[in-house]
Chains A and B, each alone.
Chain A
Amino acid sequence: MTEALYALLVGPFKDMGSSPAFFAEVLIGGIFAGLMYSLVALGFVLIFKASGVFNFAQGVMVLFAALTLVGLMERGMPVALALAITAGVMILLALLIERIVLRPLVNQAQIILFMATIGLNFFLEGFGEMLWGSNVKRLDVGIPDTSFKVAGVLINRLELTAAITAAVLVSILAIFFQRTRIGRALRAVADDHEAALSIGIPLKTIWVVVWSVAGLVAIVAGIMWGAKSGVQFSLSLVALKALPVLILGGFTSVPGAVVGGLIIGMGEKLGEVYWGPLVGGAIENWFAYVLALVFLLFRPQGLFGERIIERV
């Protein structure tokens, strides 16, 4: 018994202390992985904030964006043009989703909208594969997947780029939300639909805008994930990875998505490396969820979520 407790509570920390460079590597790997999750979680947050829709299709949107980009590039298009067209496709998609799926379902219960996005998930999955084929594609963005050493710690170039991209993206989004006219309108809608409508904010336009922005975020996430692990069907499963990040950070908070991603990423990597062997490994699949669950027990609205005020 004491031995088991020692292995659980003391051993891992001793391992961490005995090789700080390795510990730092694991930690940095966790941070990078976490930022990648945040990229996906951001799309969720944007849509949930503005329309109260829990968009399960975000993962497939990431896949769809990456597939479109790679498909266009494979047909010999220059990167810039392919990017522009992909962005156009995502905006068109947002328009169609608003018109065909969301508008008829206005005022329905959240769970109905959630199910509709799962339907959308299926549809886009089939559609993307039909258009671009289902084999694994390589996405080359010109950043080598190699590592360099800083103070004895290995750092991957690709992951570093992804981290910087995520940081830039979050800053842009923050400025967009705080400083622009349309950002203010978005925040107003997130606050109170009816009040926003009554002062003349067009709800439908706002929805198209958020879904478009979420689509553009999906492109960035798709590029990063695609460059890391190839563009393939399993890319849509990153959505499942983003969910614990989301509940940890809170559904309605952009910084929450980033901080949540960092905590989940680091927790997952540390757990896998130091505690995983004790229980037979491969705990990455559920560890993030349990971590998020424990957090939730103390803060039911996530770290940065709006405080839940309930009235009868």
Chain B
Amino acid sequence: MIYREAGQFKTTYAADQAIFPIVQDRVMAALGVAAAFVVPPLVADEYWLQAVLIPFLIYALAAIGLNVLTGYAGQLSLGTGGFMAVGGYAAFKLTSALPQLSILFVFVLSGLVAAVEGLLFGIPSLRIKGFYLAVATLAAQFFLIWLFNKVGWFTNYASSGTITAPPRTVLGVMVTGPTASAPVRYLVALGFVAVLALATKNLVRGRIGRSWMAIRDRDIAAEIIGVRPLRAKLLAFGISSFYCGVAGAEYVFLYLGSAETLAFDINVSFLVLFMIIIGGLGSVLGSFLGAAFIVLIPILLTNAPHALGMTMPVALQKQLEVMVFGGLIIFFLIVEPNGLARLWQITKEKLRLWPFPH
């Protein structure tokens, strides 16, 4: 009864094509974003921010990036970890070369570096399709990780091979480094995700997004009606890598504090791919839902036996965790192959009819 669009007449095209055409959606989204900015820094403790919310936001950003490429433009990629690594290492190099440069700007710049590299590795997509392309993007993943491991320049010749986030302030507030407080890091990550998610929403309903979807749905037909595959595909690779690069920079600077190449290995690529598949391909909301799911599940699984009062050996618990994780993924794919975003859509449809479903 509350969620109903009756009486909301649209008299302009702008109103009809708004991101949230229904007033209730608009109010809810605005409230949600406002709550995300205000509530957690006040309420959540250090553990929640550090172990759940910050990784959630960063993974959500990476998931949006991959969703642009895979969900909207239909180019399957397994190189997300590599693209994120480029962002992380670029941010490290940039901020150690130019310490006075604002760290927020450094994040954006490292995203751009990742975008350039994404364009480079996107070139094969013009000729290779489907799973062949997916395996080809693994070349990017393995090559980039090897490069960062081998060439000392990327780590400023640190003997341990790790990059560490140096202390940097924005407007006098410590944002990165060991003394930066969790709420500040949370807010920075949230700011980036909010802005970039909004940008994606706008991107995918405009000309560019439509050309991506045309390429995804039937690339030859798209080409015939005048979509330039070279431009559309490379743009998707570039923009997707930009997002992943920013996420990678945040991953090192806001979440881990210091990282080796191991932090960006192939498992990260799979994790982000899981997020967009479970969340929903071609959906920004789905990227968030998927990221939340994948971040929360391991934490739930780790704590579940304890909460149920069971004690078991650590090794057994670890194995059970992996099994349940795999099982849940299969379960979700079977129950709703279109992802959590689709479930949300169905819920909304139901809500509109409630309480008179016939």
Residues of A participating in the B interface, judged by any CB pair closer than 8 Å: 54, 100-101, 104-105, 108-112, 114-116, 118-127, 129-130, 134, 240, 243-244, 246-247, 251, 279-280, 282-283, 285-286, 289-290, 292-293, 296-297, 300-302, 308, 310-312
What are 21 inter-chain pairs, A to B, with CB distance below 8 A?
A105-B337, A112-B277, A114-B131, A115-B274, A115-B329, A119-B326, A119-B327, A119-B328, A119-B329, A122-B323, A122-B325, A125-B322, A126-B318, A126-B321, A126-B325, A130-B316, A247-B132, A279-B150, A285-B146, A290-B139, A300-B132
Q: Does B354 contact A (CB under 8 A)?
A: no
Q: Are B146 and A286 in contact (CB under 8 A)?
A: yes
CB distance from B238 to the nearest CB of A (A): 19
Say yes or no: B333 contacts A116, CB within 8 Å. yes
Q: With an 8 A cutoff between CB atoms, is B76 at the interface?
A: yes
B266-307: which have CB < 8 Å to A? 266, 270, 273-274, 277, 281
Determine whether the beta carbon of A122 is less than 8 Å from that of B329: yes
Given the complex, which residues of A lie within 8 Å of B207, measured CB to CB?
none
Interface size class of B (residues with CB under 8 A): 35 or more
Q: CA of A297 to CA of B126 in the docked complex: distance in angstroms? A: 9
Query: Given A126-B319, A286-B142, list of 15 further CB < 8 A pairs?
Result: A101-B330, A104-B334, A108-B337, A126-B324, A130-B316, A279-B150, A280-B151, A283-B146, A289-B139, A289-B142, A300-B127, A300-B128, A300-B132, A301-B132, A312-B224
Residue of A nearest to B338 (CB): A112
Pairwise interchain contact A289-B323, C-beta atoms closer than 8 A: no
A126 and B124 alpha carbons, distance in the complex (Å): 36
Closest 9 CB pairs of A and B: A122-B326, A123-B326, A119-B329, A126-B322, A126-B323, A289-B139, A286-B142, A119-B330, A130-B319
Tell me whether A296 and B127 are in contact (CB under 8 A). Answer: yes
Say yes or no for B315: interface residue by CB 8 A criterion: yes
Nearest to B225 among chain A residues (CB) is A312
Residues of A within 8 A of B358 (CB): none
Given A300-B132, A312-B221: A286 touches B139 (CB 8 Å cut-off): yes
Give the residues in chain B near A126, CB-CB below 8 Å. 318-326
Residues of A within 8 A of B319 (CB): 126-127, 129-130, 134
The CA of A115 and the CA of B220, in the complex, are separated in Å by 26
Q: Give, as a whole number of angstroms, the nearest-CB distance from A310 to chain B.
A: 6
Complex CA distance for A310 and B229, rounded to whole angstroms: 15
Q: Which residues of B contact A (CB under 8 A)?
A: 70, 76, 124, 127-132, 135-136, 138-139, 142-143, 145-146, 149-151, 218, 220-221, 224, 266, 270, 273-274, 277, 281, 315-316, 318-330, 333-334, 337
Structural contact, A130 and B320, CB atoms closer than 8 A? yes
A134 contacts B315, C-beta separation under 8 Å = yes
Q: Would you call the interface of chain A mostly helix, strand, loop, or mixed? A: helix
Assess whether B220 is in contact with A293, with CB atoms less than 8 Å apart: no
Taking a contact as CB atoms closer than 8 A, the residue among B124, B149, B318, B333 that contacts A296 in the complex is: B124
Closest to A251 in B: B131
Contact call A115/B322, Cβ cutoff below 8 A: no
Q: Closest CB of chain A to B128's CB: distance in Å?
A: 5
Q: Which residues of B contact A119 (CB under 8 A)?
A: 325-330, 333
* In the complex, chain B residues whose CB is within 8 Å of the CB of A280: 150-151
Q: Determine the distance from Cα of A111 to Cα of B333 in the docked complex, in whole angstroms.
A: 11
In Å, the complex CA distance between A278 and B111 comes to 31
Q: Is the CB of A289 within 8 A of B322?
A: no
How far is it, in angstroms, between the C-alpha of A12 and the C-alpha of B129 when the chains are bound?
34
Q: Please judge, given known A-B contacts A118-B274, A280-B150, whether A123 and B132 are in contact too, CB under 8 Å.
A: no
Partner of A125, one of B151, B266, B316, B326: B326
Nearest B-chain residue to A122, judged by Cβ: B326
Output the least CB separation between B140 and chain A (Å): 8
Q: Judging by beta carbons under 8 Å apart, are A105 and B142 in contact?
A: no
A246 in contact with B135 (CB, 8 Å): yes
Which residue of chain A lies nearest to B151 when distances are taken between CB atoms in the complex? Answer: A280
Q: Residues of A contacting B132 with CB < 8 Å?
A: 247, 251, 296, 300-302
Q: How many Å from the CB of B267 to the closest CB on chain A?
A: 11
Shortest CB-to-CB span from A58 to chain B, Å, is: 13
Which residues on A sit within 8 Å (CB–CB) of B221? 312
CB distance from A19 to the nearest CB of B (A): 27
User: Given A105-B333, A122-B322, A280-B150, A286–B266 Cβ distance below 8 Å?
Assistant: no
Contacts of A54 in B (CB 8 A): 131
CB distance from A204 to the nearest CB of B (A): 16
CA separation between A123 and B150, bound complex, in Å? 34
Say which residue of A104, A121, A285, A296 sits within 8 Å of B128 (CB atoms). A296
Known: A119-B333, A123-B326, A286-B143. A247 touches B320 (CB 8 A): no
Say yes or no: A118 contacts B270, CB within 8 Å.
yes
A136 to B310, CA, bound (A): 29
Asked if B135 and A127 sit within 8 Å, CB to CB, the answer is no
Question: Measured between alpha carbons, how far is A297 from B125 in the docked complex, in Å?
Answer: 9
Instruction: Select from chain B the residue with minimum beta-carbon distance to A246.
Output: B135
B323 touches A297 (CB 8 A): no
